[in-house]
Amino acid sequence: MVSCIIPSFNQVDLVKQCVNTLKATITKTSYEIIVVDDGSAMHIQQQLLQWGSQENIKVILKNPNEGFSCTVNQGIRQARGKHIALVNNDVIFHEPEWLKKMISTIQSSPEIGVIGARLLYPNQTIQHGGMSGELLHRYVGMPADYPPALAVDDVHAVTGALLLIKQDAVADLGLFSEDFFTGFEDVEYCFRARLKGWRVVYCGPAAAIHLEGQTRGGHQKINFYKHKDFEARKQFDLKWRGYYHILKS
């Protein structure tokens, strides 16, 4: 079984859209869905609880708003699956059996601990194809079917917007660092994995659409998160500068 953990903050319609498309594109894999709400308004949390009970979805409510790592860690602690899928609530699944492709890849070698997918903008250009040594998203802006982006290969890191983690890797690595509010917690996890001998792999055949930034809301909130992203990058560089030249090679 795969435990699909979806962090949520105020955007109920996004969560429902994500879950509906997830269910529609998985037919041959056992899974559970865990939605973890990160301090939304009380009436929104009650909507999630009611909807979750109708859809057989586990909903975890938490307060206050503590960021991505704290939120997904709550879900990971209650996950029952052999693998854990982290899914941003602004992801839309449009291709069948994306999860089966990711599972097949992660099970192809005992050394693979973390798997990322090909993420697309709504206009069907590439948003994410794994991260290079400079921690830049590969293939950005290229067509969805750009041949190099369809490959399966080892990368330096993958985004936490959609990734699959082997439960054995979680047991070895622990949870996501809660030193990061939002931004770079996924890269830090990938670096930790690689430092301990796990492979981080990009699975190009598995694809989804990511409405990047939709979870964060309006203009003021986006500026708030930009500041948090900047702080996270500084924190990441400070923590990993002694290892970066090794892991970059």
Residue 244: strand, helix, or coil:
helix
Q: What is the mean pLDDT of the chain?
A: 90
* Residue 164 exposed, middle or buried by CB count within 10 Å (0-12, 13-18, 19+): buried
Long-range contacts of 192-198 (CB under 8 A, 24+ apart): 193/113, 193/114, 193/169, 194/156, 194/247, 195/243, 195/247, 196/172, 197/111, 198/111, 198/112, 198/113, 198/114, 198/169, 198/172, 198/173
pTM for this one?
Answer: 0.89
82 has a pLDDT exceeding 80? yes
226 has a pLDDT exceeding 80? no
Q: Rounded mean pLDDT of 115-121?
A: 99
pLDDT of 10-51, one tens digit each? 989 999 999 999 999 998 899 999 999 999 999 999 999 999
Q: Rounded mean pLDDT of 77-85?
A: 98
pLDDT of 124-168, one tens digit each? 999 999 998 778 899 999 999 999 999 999 999 999 999 999 999
Superfamily of domain 2-247: Spore Coat Polysaccharide Biosynthesis Protein SpsA; Chain A (3.90.550.10)
Kindly list the domain boundaries of the chain, sorted by start residue: 2-247
In the chain, the percentage of residues whose pLDDT exceeds 90 is: 77
Please give the Cα distance from 61 to 246 (Å, whole number).
Answer: 40
217 has a pLDDT exceeding 80? no
